[in-house]
Amino acid sequence: MSTSPAKDAPAAAASHTADKQAAFAKGLDGVIGGQTAVCSIEQDKLIYRGYEIHDLAAHATFEQVAFLLLEGRKPGEHELARFKAELIAERALHPAVTSFIESSAGWLASGRAVPMDVLRTAVSILAHTDPECQDNAAPAELRKAKRLTAKIPTIIGHMQNVIDARAIVGLERGGDPTLDHAANMLYMMTGKRPSADEARVMDVSLILYAEHEFNASTFTTRVISGTLSDMHGAVCGGIAALKGPLHGGANEMAMEMLKEIVNDVGEAGIGTSKVDDWMNNAFETKRKLMGFGHRVYKNGDHRAGILMGLGKKMADSIDNAGQPTFGALRAPRWFALGEQVQKIMLDKKKIHPNVDFPCGMTYFTMKIPVPQYTPIFVAARITGWCAHIIEQHSDNRLIRPLSIYTGPAEKKW
Ligand code: SDX
């Protein structure tokens, strides 16, 4: 028997809402947001385009991984040489970008802007200097991805020179063309060429940070490019998302947290129950401890162990060389504290460190200023973001999820 649509409406609406409630997951936790050939994250494995992260960290360079992510295959010898030459040729910045960076000195000094903000604006200006910025075709996007990969370390280097009130290092060519990508970024930041060890540790950290599937900032770039907006605009969105302390900003906050612990317990407190007391207080106040936990990994972040090992080895070597302390402690003491905090988190909360925890200590040991940790994360993740943007544009469907309405019931105006 046919019933009037009006009579059926409430039942239909109720079942529609029930279906939506069933499909709802706050923060899209566990929700499949799309398909990708770029990266696979499982509890037991992290894969970039088929290659496992431990294999890449041990045997590849960042330039090889950047090529792998952007082109979709491992580069041959000649392809790699050409790719490296293209990056070197594109390192220098347009004067409009450099003069913006120089003009940001006051905002950086006053704290009105942090380096992630200046990086975001610099990339936005970079778009105006890129002749292909409105072109979403794959060949143009690959060229733009290389230019962004080449220039972001230069923005970071010039910005650090401005913060240090020193002359811009490598203004003409974007650093030293004889140095590889990671080493040149460190050189531009300090004016000093890094040791082979420092260059390799930075290179591996860039490999570890390069790509991570549908994390918040990458998904942001896919949502923006999913409207057929341009690569630079999507990257600006990615930078804004990565800045947050729940995401990339955690590497800076993790180091600040360790400095806070040392400030509270003193160097003599490291290794004692004073650190346990500090952590218990953090647990009681429901404080989020930076550099720990992960939305996907519940048995540990594959990358954290790799970087912890490299960072610790570097700290021990620096201390053996009897180099001066930095911050309040000699280098290995930071790692001793880090290992104690890790153990307490695991024993008490069953929460593992993510890649940002060892990153903080490692970059601190390399005397990199803390506010540059997340910009360096961008210098790596730009390759993953661009790979996803190119993939989204090549097989696009607008990304537009639903929501459950919790506002007031319908009423007359
Ligand atoms: C990155 O997604 C990616 O792949 C990101 C990334 C990448 O490469 O792109 O891996 C990089 O962003 C790593 C994460 C960096 N962020 C941090 O280190 C910030 C601290 N971490 C937390 O805020 C948290 O672990 C998140 C945000 C990373 C994940 O949070 P979820 O999945 O939303 O989990 P949750 O906040 O719901 O926590 C579940 C429980 C909660 O306890 P209850 O409230 O249920 O009692 O675990 C607790 C949380 O309080 N918890 C923590 C904690 N992380 C989770 N408690 C204290 N400190 C923490 N760090």
Q: Tell whether 176 and 224 lie within a shared domain.
A: yes
pLDDT tens digits, one per residue of 231-240: 999 999 999 9
Residue 89 in this model has a pLDDT that exceeds 60? yes
Burial 172-189 (b: 16+ CB within 10 A, else e): eebbbeebbbbbbbbbbb
pLDDT tens digits, one per residue of 172-204: 999 999 999 999 999 999 999 999 999 999 999
- Residue-level pLDDT at 1: 45
pLDDT tens digits, one per residue of 121-155: 999 999 999 999 999 999 999 999 999 999 999 99
Q: Tell whether 226 and 266 lie within a shared domain.
A: no
CA–centroid distance for 214 within its chain: 12
Average pLDDT over residues 149-170: 98
Asked if residue 34 is part of any domain, the answer here is: no
Cβ atoms 151, 91 nearer than 8 A? yes
Q: Tell whether 239 and 277 lie within a shared domain.
A: no
> Which string of DSSP letters, residue by residue, matches 86-148?
HHHHT-SPPHHHHHHHHHTHHHHHHTSS-HHHHHHHHHHHHHHT-TTTT--SHHHHHHHHHHH
Q: Give the residue whose CA is nearest to atom 28 of ligand 1.
A: 294
Cβ atoms 337, 270 nearer than 8 A? yes
Q: Tell whether 288 and 221 lie within a shared domain.
A: no
Q: Tell whether 343 and 384 lie within a shared domain.
A: no
Q: Tell whether 216 and 316 lie within a shared domain.
A: no
Q: Give the residue whose CA is nearest to atom 18 of ligand 1.
A: 291
- Residue-level pLDDT at 329: 84
Average pLDDT over residues 268-280: 97
Residue 107 in this model has a pLDDT that exceeds 50? yes
Burial 294-324 (b: 16+ CB within 10 A, else e): bebbeeebbbbebbbebbbebbeebbeeeee
CA 25 to centroid of ligand 1, rounded, Å? 16
354 pocket-lining for ligand 1 (C-beta < 6 Å): yes
CA 293 to centroid of ligand 1, rounded, Å? 4
Which residues are catalytically annotated?
A: 247, 294, 356
Pocket probe mutation, ligand 1, options 239, 295, 306, 385, max atoms within 8 Å of Cβ: 295
Q: State the chain's mean pLDDT as an integer.
A: 95
**Residue 329 DSSP class:** B
CA nearest 228: which of 152, 120, 141?
141
Cβ atoms 258, 391 nearer than 8 A? no
Cβ atoms 152, 123 nearer than 8 A? yes
Average pLDDT over residues 277-299: 97
CA 279 to centroid of ligand 1, rounded, Å? 16
CA 292 to centroid of ligand 1, rounded, Å? 6
Asked if residue 405 is part of any domain, the answer here is: no
Asked if residue 208 is part of any domain, the answer here is: yes
Cβ atoms 203, 61 nearer than 8 A? yes
Determine how many CB atoms are found less than 10 A away from the CB of residue 134: 12
Q: What is the CATH number of the domain that holds 356?
A: 1.10.230.10
- Residue-level pLDDT at 17: 73
358 pocket-lining for ligand 1 (C-beta < 6 Å): no
pLDDT tens digits, one per residue of 11-35: 777 777 778 888 899 999 999 999 9
Residue 352 main-chain phi, psi, to 5 deg:
-90, 160
- Residue-level pLDDT at 265: 96
Q: Tell whether 261 and 206 lie within a shared domain.
A: no
Asked if residue 27 is part of any domain, the answer here is: no
212 pocket-lining for ligand 1 (C-beta < 6 Å): yes
Q: Tell whether 281 and 190 lie within a shared domain.
A: no
Q: Tell whether 204 and 63 lie within a shared domain.
A: yes
Q: Tell whether 264 and 333 lie within a shared domain.
A: yes
Asked if residue 399 is part of any domain, the answer here is: no
Cα–Cα distance for residue pair 39/211, rounded to 1 Å: 7
**Between 98 and 3, the higher pLDDT residue:** 98
Residue range of the domain that includes 140: 39-243+375-394
Give the sign of the dihedral formed by CA 45, CA 253, CA 146, CA 395. Answer: positive
Q: Tell whether 112 and 203 lie within a shared domain.
A: yes
Cα–Cα distance for residue pair 133/192, rounded to 1 Å: 34
Cα–Cα distance for residue pair 173/88, rounded to 1 Å: 8
Angle among Cα 103, 105, 110 to the nearest 5 degrees reads 130
- Residue-level pLDDT at 63: 99
Cα–Cα distance for residue pair 275/175, rounded to 1 Å: 43
- Residue-level pLDDT at 323: 65
Cα–Cα distance for residue pair 264/311, rounded to 1 Å: 24
Asked if residue 142 is part of any domain, the answer here is: yes
Q: Tell whether 238 and 257 lie within a shared domain.
A: no
pLDDT tens digits, one per residue of 340-382: 999 999 999 999 999 999 999 999 999 999 999 999 999 999 9
Residue 3 in this model has a pLDDT that exceeds 70? no
**Between 3 and 135, the higher pLDDT residue:** 135
Dihedral in degrees, nearest 10, Cα atoms 400, 404, 407, 411: 90
Cβ atoms 208, 69 nearer than 8 A? no
Q: What is the CATH number of the domain that holds 58?
A: 1.10.580.10
288 pocket-lining for ligand 1 (C-beta < 6 Å): yes
Average pLDDT over residues 246-269: 96
Residue 324's pLDDT band, with cuts at 50, 70 and 90, is low
Residue 325 in this model has a pLDDT that exceeds 70? no
Number of structural domains in the chain: 2
